[in-house]
Every structure is written in structure tokens, then in C-alpha cells.
């Protein structure tokens, strides 16, 4: 099965998940499950999947509800669900996780998440710490703080006056549009994603990318942020679980990597002993679509193969 092919997976949430899978070339020594970002979809990770296949990884990815080709009642483009959106999103991730582990019962599971996908991945680890053997949290910002609380107030007002199932009028101004304005001599409003003009143009031309989330989805996003920022919820996560934290030094969505560094410090202060963090110079939000993507992908593969969860001789060193 090529990564470009779509398999429909029924989730317990009622969603029909559009899932993609591609197999490792030769001996497989681990699974990478990809959780994509907001206003995009899993097919944008095809190049990354092919690279990982060549390094000995099976790759699974699906379109989150409200994204791409996934279908779910009450979840049109831009909304997770009519209610309990975060719970449904995490349960969908678990459906793919369970399927992958069932198909490959002796392989370690690495959960990879970019941006919103990183928020989802961290929340999944908090909810199901025993179902992953390593986690990569890329370009995710759990440092909303007071501004995040203000944003939540704005969203409550929008929900009252506009409803939950319409795009937010104000949040894009404080996020996507502000991030776009932060790039000097920008060619497009989406140049904050990457320095590669071809990648930016492909994003802009993609009919399944670039839309504005609804008020409901924005509220769910901030729930993911603040839950992921709660130190008490990390209590049940093994302190030796390998984490890979990555950011871009020119990514406005993480305050130029500041939020990623903050997560690194917070986890190490809490006793996590296997956290690998790197901020790439010159890099904007989408490292996998950046001009230095080959280095970034190689670094990820090197981290993944040297974690305690993987022995490339074929033995599985899974956490209990």
C-alpha cells in the first residue's frame, strides 16, 4: 500500500478515518504514527513517510476529524465535533494506534505530532502513557499563559454572538495573520510556514489546507494547550520515556522556538531524563517542508533509532 492510498478506518467515535500507511523497506524496527497540524492533512507528510520507510519504519497517519478526507457526523471542515471534540480526537488517534499495534504487535510505537498534532500527541501521551514507546512533539506551543486565557474569553464571546460552528473572526488575526506579518519581505501571507516558495505555493494551492478553524475548534485547541501545560497530568508518564522536542528559530507560532525550550525545561524540572531538544536556526514553522528538511528528517531518524525503545538488530525494548 502506497502512502498516497487511503484506507477507511471506523473509529469508536463514529468517524470514518481516512488513514494512510506505507511499509518499511526491508526489516522494520518501529512504527511512526503521524499526527498532522491544523488546517492541513496527512497526505502532506508523504515525503517524510517515504524517507522513514527507507530508514526501517512503518508509517501510519490519518486525517483528524474536521480535516482532509475523514468523515464524521457533526465534524465538517474546521470542527472536531459538536461537543467533546478533544475526547473524540484522542479516541480517533487511539483507534489508529490500536490498529497499528495489532498489525505489528512486536514493534515499538513512536507517536509524532507537528503543531496542533504536537498538542494532540502530548495529550494522547497524558491519557495513554503505556501505548507509546517514544513521542516527538514538534513546533507545539503549550505556553499560552495569560494571552491564551484572553483568547478563551474572546472565543466565549464569539460563541455567544456568532455560534460555535462558524469560523472565528478574531483568532486568525492574532495567530495566522500576525505570524504572516512577522516575516520580513514576505511574498505571501503564508511565508511563516517555510522559506521554500514551492512548498508555500503548494500549501496555498491545496483545497484541503489553509482554511480557518471554527470557534468550536479553536476552543478545543486551547483545551489541548492548557491540558498539556498541566504538570500534575504528567505524573503517570514514565520519566524515562523518550521525547523529541523540535522547533524553528524563526517560527513565530512558537515565539521563535521559545515555547519549545520552555517545554524542555519544564519536563526536565519534572524529572524526565530522556528529552532530546533541538531548535533549528533559520527554520520557520514547518521543518519538514523547509529548505533544510533533509537534515531535519535525518536527525529525527537518528533520534528514533537510538532511543531506548529500539534495537535495530530486531529486538524490541519496549517500556512496560
Q: Which three cell numbers stand for residue 121?
A: 500527541
Q: Which three cell numbers stand for residue 72?
A: 464524521
Residues whose CB falls within 8 Å of the CB of residue 255, separated by 6 or more in sequence, listed in order: 141, 143
Average pLDDT of span 275-303 = 98
pLDDT value for 192: 98
Q: What is the pLDDT of residues 126-166, one digit of tens each?
A: 999 999 999 999 999 999 877 888 899 999 999 988 889 99
Among positive and negative, which fits the CA dihedral 121, 125, 130, 135? positive
pLDDT value for 310: 59
Rounded to the nearest 10 degrees, the angle between the axes of helix 116-127 and helix 85-103 is 70
> Given a cut of 70, is residue 309 above it in pLDDT?
no
At residue 312, the 3 state secondary structure works out as coil
Confidence of residue 1 (pLDDT cuts 50, 70, 90): confident
Q: What is the pLDDT of residues 68-103, one digit of tens each?
A: 999 999 999 999 999 999 999 999 999 999 999 999
Residues whose CB falls within 8 Å of the CB of residue 71, separated by 6 or more in sequence, listed in order: 15, 16, 18
For residues 264 and 250, what is the distance between their CA atoms, to the nearest angstrom?
Answer: 18
Average pLDDT of span 293-301 = 98
Average pLDDT of span 248-276 = 98
Task: Kindly state the helix (H) or strand (E) to which residue 152 belongs, with its residue range.
Answer: helix 145-161
Residue 249 burial (CB count, 10 A): 15
> Given a cut of 90, is residue 283 above it in pLDDT?
yes
pLDDT value for 318: 41
Which whole-number Å values give the CA distances from 210 to 94, 105, 205, 286, 290, in the listed order?
26, 37, 9, 14, 18
pTM: 0.95
Average pLDDT for the chain: 94
**What percentage of the chain exceeds 70 in pLDDT?**
96
Average pLDDT of span 248-262 = 98
The CATH architecture assigned to 7-306 reads: 3-Layer(aba) Sandwich (3.40)
pLDDT value for 317: 38
> Given a cut of 70, is residue 177 above it in pLDDT?
yes
For residues 13 and 31, what is the distance between their CA atoms, to the nearest angstrom?
Answer: 24
CA-based nearest residue to 96, from 74, 73, 128, 126:
128
Confidence of residue 270 (pLDDT cuts 50, 70, 90): very high
Q: What is the pLDDT of residues 19-59, one digit of tens each?
A: 999 999 999 999 999 999 999 999 999 999 999 999 999 99
Q: What is the pLDDT of residues 193-240, one digit of tens each?
A: 999 999 999 999 999 999 999 999 999 999 999 999 999 999 999 999
pLDDT value for 314: 40
Average pLDDT of span 256-274 = 97
> Given a cut of 70, is residue 6 above it in pLDDT?
yes
Per DSSP (E only), the strands in 189-312 are 243-248, 275-280
For residues 100 and 36, what is the distance between their CA atoms, to the nearest angstrom?
Answer: 17
Residues whose CB falls within 8 Å of the CB of residue 224, separated by 6 or more in sequence, listed in order: 86, 116, 119, 120, 122, 123
CA 198-200-202 angle, 5° bins: 70
Amino acid at each position: 500500500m502506497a502512502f498516497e492510498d487511503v484506507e477507511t478506518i471506523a473509529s469508536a467515535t463514529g468517524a470514518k478515518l481516512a488513514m494512510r500507511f506505507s511499509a518499511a523497506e526491508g526489516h522494520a524496527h518501529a512504527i511512526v504514527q503521524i499526527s498532522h497540524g491544523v488546517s492541513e492533512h496527512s497526505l502532506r507528510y508523504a515525503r517524510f513517510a517515504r524517507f522513514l520507510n527507507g530508514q526501517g519504519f512503518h508509517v501510519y497517519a490519518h486525517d483528524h476529524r474536521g480535516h482532509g478526507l475523514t468523515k464524521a457526523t457533526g465534524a465538517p471542515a474546521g470542527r472536531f465535533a459538536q461537543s467533546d471534540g478533544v475526547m473524540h480526537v484522542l479516541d480517533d488517534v487511539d483507534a489508529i494506534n490500536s490498529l497499528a499495534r495489532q498489525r505489528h504487535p512486536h514493534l515499538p510505537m513512536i507517536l509524532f505530532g507537528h503543531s496542533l498534532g504536537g498538542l494532540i500527541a502530548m495529550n494522547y501521551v497524558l491519557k495513554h502513557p503505556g501505548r507509546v514507546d517514544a513521542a516527538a512533539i514538534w513546533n507545539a506551543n503549550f505556553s499560552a499563559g495569560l494571552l491564551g486565557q484572553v483568547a478563551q474569553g474572546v472565543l466565549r464571546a464569539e460563541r455567544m454572538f456568532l455560534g460555535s460552528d462558524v469560523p472565528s473572526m478574531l483568532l486568525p488575526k492574532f495567530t495566522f495573520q500576525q505570524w504572516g506579518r512577522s516575516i520580513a519581505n514576505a511574498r505571501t501571507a503564508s511565508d511563516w510556514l517555510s522559506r521554500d516558495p514551492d512548498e508555500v505555493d503548494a500549501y496555498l494551492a491545496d483545497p484541503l489546507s489553509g482554511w480557518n478553524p471554527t470557534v468550536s475548534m479553536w476552543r478545543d485547541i486551547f483545551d489541548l494547550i492548557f491540558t498539556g501545560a498541566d504538570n500534575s497530568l504528567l505524573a503517570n508518564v514514565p520519566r524515562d520515556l523518550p521525547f523529541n522536542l523540535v522547533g524553528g528559530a524563526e517560527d513565530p507560532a512558537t515565539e521563535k522556538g521559545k515555547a519549545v525550550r520552555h517545554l524542555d525545561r519544564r519536563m526536565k524540572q519534572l524529572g524526565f531524563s530522556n528529552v532530546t531538544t533541538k531548535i533549528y536556526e533559520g527554520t520557520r514553522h514547518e521543518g519538514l517542508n523547509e529548505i533544510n528538511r533533509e537534515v531535519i528528517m535525518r536527525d529525527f531518524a537518528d533520534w528514533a533509532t537510538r532511543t531506548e525503545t529500539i534495537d535495530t538488530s530486531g529486538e524490541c525494548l519496549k517500556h512496560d
